[in-house]
Amino acid sequence: MVKKPSWPVDRFRELIDQILRDTGLPQVQLAALVPMDQSQLSRWKAGTSKPKHESLQSLGVALAEHYPHLGIGPDELINSVYPRDTGDTPAEDRMEIRDGSNRYKARPSTGIPSFDDIKDPTPAEAAMLAVLAAVHEDVRHLKEQLAVMQAERQADHDERERDGRNQKGA
Cβ atoms 74, 33 nearer than 8 A: no
**What is the CA 126 to chain-centroid distance, rounded?**
31
The structural domains of the chain, with segments of one domain joined by +, span: 1-84, 104-170
- Residue 114's pLDDT is 60
pLDDT single digits (tens) 52-68: 989 999 999 999 999 98
pLDDT-derived band of residue 106, with 50, 70 and 90 as boundaries?
A: very low
Helix/strand/coil for 102: coil
Cβ atoms 108, 87 nearer than 8 A: yes
Closest among 128, 81, 83 to 104, alpha carbons compared: 128
> What is the CATH topology of the domain spanning 1-84?
434 Repressor (Amino-terminal Domain) (1.10.260)
Per DSSP, the residues of 114-143 read: -GGG--S--HHHHHHHHHHHHHHHHHHHHH
Which of 40-44, 85-89, 93-97, 152-156 is predicted least confidently? 93-97
This prediction's pTM: 0.49
pLDDT single digits (tens) 109-158: 444 556 666 677 788 877 888 888 888 888 888 888 988 899 899 989 88
